[in-house]
């Protein structure tokens, strides 16, 4: 009695169709990544106002200073008015409203003496008795 083959390999698999499947999967993944990148770009443009009218934001965060683990002070400009806001985990409170035209800009950076402070590598090499220069 001759045995009959019940299952046969499809023609595509027998002739190297796996490589074509990998290419199509790769192209599909690249398409999905491209769509996600395009959506992220669109969301960023829409949120910033650049897509619909290009208006300036009416509220600007000028500076932020952490005061603790969950507390910070934030300097916010709304129109021409600067407001110092206290932010904690459960609340936001106005701490001070500056007069219009008040100077709330950051002070200038201190002048450097021209001598850079030693870095950790140089200090470690010096303590080990090695040449810290090169």
Instruction: Give the tens place of pLDDT for each residue, 53-83.
Output: 555 668 888 888 899 888 999 998 888 888 9
Token pair for residue 30?
């690249």
pLDDT at residue 38 greater than cutoff 90: yes
Q: Which 8-state DSSP code applies to residue 29?
A: H
Q: Which of 92, 75, 93 is nearest to 84 (CA)?
A: 75
Q: Average pLDDT for residues 40-45, to the nearest whole number?
A: 86
Tokens encoding 1: 């009695």
Could you give the percent of the chain with pLDDT greater than 90? 25
The β-bridge partners of 97 are 83
Residue 98 DSSP class: P
Residue 29's pLDDT band (cuts 50, 70, 90): very high
Residue-wise pLDDT tens digits, 76-102: 888 888 899 999 998 999 999 988 777
Query: What is the pLDDT, as a whole number, of residue 50?
Result: 54
pLDDT digits (tens, 9 = 90+) for 112-131: 777 777 788 888 888 888 87
């Amino acid at each position: 009695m001759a045995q009959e083959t019940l299952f046969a390999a499809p023609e595509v698999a027998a002739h190297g169709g796996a490589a074509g499947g990998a290419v199509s999967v790769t192209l599909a993944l690249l398409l999905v990544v491209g769509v996600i990148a395009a959506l992220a770009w669109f969301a960023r443009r829409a949120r910033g106002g650049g897509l619909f009218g290009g208006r300036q934001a009416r509220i600007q965060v000028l500076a932020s200073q952490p005061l603790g683990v969950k507390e910070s002070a934030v300097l916010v400009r709304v129109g021409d008015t600067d407001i110092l806001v206290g932010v904690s985990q459960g609340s936001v409170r106005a701490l001070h409203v500056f007069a219009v035209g008040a100077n709330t800009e950051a002070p200038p950076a201190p002048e450097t003496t021209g001598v850079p402070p030693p870095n950790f590598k140089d200090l470690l090499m010096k303590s080990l008795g090695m040449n810290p220069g090169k």
